[in-house]
């Protein structure tokens, strides 16, 4: 079972309405150490995303009092909760994104995943191979004779010799 974005996503997502100013959005991003804010419409559906890059563009135009809708990415390429981590990474790399909203089938926001989240997941062999981090995988009590590590519930030991 491959890891899904829902397993690594941040589900506490900071959002703004389209009429919020660039200055207000920048303050929110600074206050919460964020690289992006998801823009939602009056029905709480994803309308866009405003990122650090968009803020820089607005500031360089001396346009901080404009609404975020003027600078946000409107054609949001989100993914669903069951999207695999590697597929989400493809979307990011092919489109130059660093943040990817996870959108439910009803158009409402589930969470967000960053390029950093995906990198961490890809570095975790267990998450990628088995859909959960190594610390959540149960051991079997059997030690691999080659590497000396305990063989886990999936037959993984680290060197591969314990894998049957």
Answer for the pair 154, 139: CB distance below 8 angstroms, yes or no: no
Query: Does pLDDT of 151 surpass 90?
Result: no
Where does the pLDDT of residue 50 fall: very low under 50, low under 70, confident under 90, or very high at 90 and above?
very high
What is the DSSP secondary-structure string of 44-67?
A: SBEEEEEEHHHHHHHHHTT-TTSB
Structural domains in the chain?
A: 5-122 (3.10.580.10), 133-164 (no CATH)
What's the pLDDT band for 157 if we cut at 50, 70, 90? confident
Cβ–Cβ under 8 Å, residues 39 and 18: yes
Residue 44 pLDDT? 87
Are 137 and 154 contacting, i.e. CB atoms less than 8 angstroms apart?
yes
CA pair distance 94, 83, nearest whole angstrom: 16
DSSP label at residue 146: T
């Amino acid at each position: 079972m491959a890891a899904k974005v829902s397993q690594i996503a941040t589900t506490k997502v900071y959002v703004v309405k389209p009429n919020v100013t660039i200055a207000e959005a920048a303050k929110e991003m600074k206050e919460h150490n964020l690289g992006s804010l998801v823009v939602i419409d009056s029905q709480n559906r994803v309308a866009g995303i405003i990122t650090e890059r968009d803020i820089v563009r607005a500031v360089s135009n001396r346009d901080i009092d404009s609404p975020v809708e003027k600078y946000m990415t409107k054609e949001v390429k989100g993914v669903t909760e069951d999207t695999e981590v590697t597929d989400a990474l493809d979307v990011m790399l092919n489109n130059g994104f660093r943040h990817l909203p996870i959108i439910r089938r009803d158009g409402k926001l589930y969470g967000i995943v960053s390029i950093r989240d995906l990198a961490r997941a890809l570095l975790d062999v267990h998450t990628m191979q088995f859909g959960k981090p190594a610390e959540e995988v149960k051991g079997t009590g059997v030690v691999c004779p080659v590497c000396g590590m305990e063989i886990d519930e999936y037959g993984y030991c680290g060197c591969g010799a314990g894998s049957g």
